[in-house]
Amino acid sequence: MTACPTGIAHTYMAAEKLAQAADTLGIEMKVETQGSIGAENVLTDNDVRDADGIIVAADKDVDLSRFAGKRVLKVGVAEGIRHPEQLIERVRNAPALGADGGGTGTGGAPAAGAEADGGGKERSVAYKALMNGVSYMIPFVVVGGLLIAISLALGGHATPQGYAIPEGSFWESVFKIGEIGFQLMVPILSGYIAYAIADRPALVPGMIGGWIANTGALYDSEAGAGFIGAIVTGFLAGYLVLWIKKVKVPRFAQPIMPIIVIPIVATSALGLFFIYVIGKPIAWVFEHLTSRLSGMTGTSAILLGAILGLMIAFDMGGPVNKTAFLFGAGLIASGNQTVMGMCAAAIPVMPLGQGLATLVRRKLYSEQERETGMAALFMGFFGISEGAIPFAAARPAQVIPANMLGGAVAGALAGLAGVKDAVPHGGPIVAVLGAVGGVPMFFLAVVAGTVVTALTTNALISIKEHKAGRVSEAALVPAQAGAPVSATVATAVEEKEEPALVGAGSGGSRSRVPAEPARPEASAEEATNEAGTDAAKQAATKEAATKEAAAEDEALPEVLSGYLTAQTMKVSLDADGKDAAIREMAAMLASTGKVTDPEELVRAAFAREEQGTTGLGEEIAIPHAKTDAVTAPVVGFARSTEGVEWGSLDGTKARLIFMITVPEAAAGDEHLRILALLSRKLMDPAFRERLMAAPDESSVLTVLAEIE
């Protein structure tokens, strides 16, 4: 079985390499690919029963339970590409998989612990685990938040105790369903972080640990530890289960370990540890924090508002947020409504700011994040700060500081203007329903905080990507100020060709138009007339050459359903670096007229490289991008004589480079079909040799036509 995080090129390359190695060794092998297009060539029960061993070359979580009792070798997908013969030899001596199907391979490595791209570090495992938790949590955030917001909007009314919905009403039922979503949100985050680290035995301790972390009453705290506590319990549960799984137990006890012993031991240990060791200090800290806030009511309203805004924005419903909120709500009864006014202005800033950020710079976010951003905007209007949690959990280093800055701005402005709030709730809905005093300044504070949050978030994300050497504004700035990227790249390429060439294809010249020598003895009038005549002749010649080149293009074979043509091919790439190569190929694809925004295409390709290199080894790279900057699928190909450093799995420089671009709407089976076809065919050494040896465009296209 082969699988990579993106489920595209590496998945199919490993499959092809393993199949080739098996043929060479005279061994019967069936390879299941778990790609983005779905599982293909699936191993049946009969296949598994008859197999001498199972090789799992994967960099993502896969279900191994069906292989229980068989010899299973679990490695990274890169190993399937680099050393397929060795894997076939190693699997003969691999240990049998336990009955739990927990994904243990040689050396007791967990399923989730395979290193990404064969060389990932431990932090990549932690990142994948965190993203796994976030992806499962998002639906609970969105469903719970929207149901609560709708019930408050249509069935609630303001009271001194907050927004109330009549008991026994239809909207109270809707509200309670939404609350269940929010209650499950935090345990789900914790549970699936643990699951990604140690598989199914870690799911129960992870979820129960997350529930404990979010239930402050269990450790004498008025507010639970929120999503930050859930992240902590998720990782603690995952690694605790990994440690327990390494303990040697008698054979008779092995079957009950994953379903009884491990969950009970891990859940009890983690729960008691949180309640008695971590929980008590958390409760003590926030009790004293409340006392400190009470002592600040006589100080500067601006400073107090900024501090409350920072606290409200820090953990979005967690203990820090709840401490500030309960402090403001408690002062309403004593007649001080200004402190709650500061909190009310800061409460919606995080979801509104993150939602706005996805609208301002959509290209920085995935489609799922943009959809979550729209839901966050809606939740922000109703003062549901938890709408920003998915963004904070996914990018804590960028999102949390931006949230805090925006919250501080909103709280400080509300404190400066003396905004009042008569109910313990926040968001624009409070002002719409008449519970706020100083409505204009309240909205000004909310808008200012939202804008600051959005701009800061996008700036911090851009800085991170710039440091990573991928998506950077500097990399997209043309050599000449004001010139578009595509024009700059095209000019740089053209300047290396002979100035007298016209009608040249992307890979070289087809027609030559010799320039007439200057005639210095001619008069000015003659020169002018002759210049006009020469210009007309050259224009006619150029038009004829262009038609001739177009006719030649039509005669050449089209590759990959016509997506790759002579116009999107260069037999000799000029660039000597990856970033420059991507920009050069993007400019080439732009010449087809199917690219509306070359700069965005470059940005999308760089963003894909950020997820993991598209250098596949064997001197191959397949950069690809899904973006609405292209109107139809288009594929480019270029050869590099010296090779381009691409971070390939085997350390080779890329000499055969394909660039695949498709619109978002077409980023389905067709995109993956192209990648799968290329990945498999390029594993044939003879095919690669013919491709490198082809002397011109026509020959190259003839070789490439073998792909289909």
Q: What share of the chain is helix, strand, coil (3-state, %, to 5)?
A: 65, 10, 30
The Cα 590–Cα 229 span in angstroms is 48
The answer to whether residue 624 is catalytic is: yes
Whether the Cβ atoms of residue 302 and residue 416 lie closer than 8 Å to each other: yes
Residue 676's closest CA among 41, 30, 91? 41
The Cα 286–Cα 222 span in angstroms is 9
Catalytic one of 83, 425, 624, 671: 624
3-state secondary structure of 639: strand
The Cα 585–Cα 195 span in angstroms is 41
- Residue 469, Ramachandran bin (φ over 0: left; ψ between -120 and 50: alpha; else beta): left
Burial (0-12, 13-18, 19+ Cβ within 10 Å), 555: exposed
Supply angle C-alpha 257, 262, 263, rounded to 5.
125
3-state secondary structure of 436: strand
The Cα 474–Cα 441 span in angstroms is 38
Q: What is the DSSP letter of 260?
A: I
Largest CA distance in the chain: 107
Supply angle C-alpha 500, 505, 509, rounded to 5.
40
Which residues are within 8 A (CB) of 533 and not within 5 positions of it... i.e. 6 or more apart?
A: none
Tokens 């991507």 found at: 582
CA distances from 648 to 119, 616, 693 (A): 11, 5, 22
Q: What is the DSSP string of 233-245?
A: HHHHHHHHHHHHH
The Cα 161–Cα 150 span in angstroms is 19
Whether the Cβ atoms of residue 353 and residue 449 lie closer than 8 Å to each other: yes
The Cα 77–Cα 366 span in angstroms is 25
H or E element that contains 248:
none
3-state secondary structure 549-566: HHHHHHHCCCECCCCECH
CA distances from 170 to 102, 106, 165, 461 (A): 45, 56, 9, 43
3-state secondary structure of 278: helix
Catalytic one of 4, 343, 425, 671: 4
Whether the Cβ atoms of residue 343 and residue 308 lie closer than 8 Å to each other: yes
Residue 509's closest CA among 546, 539, 561? 546
The answer to whether residue 425 is catalytic is: no
Where in the sequence numbering do the catalytic residues fall? 4, 624
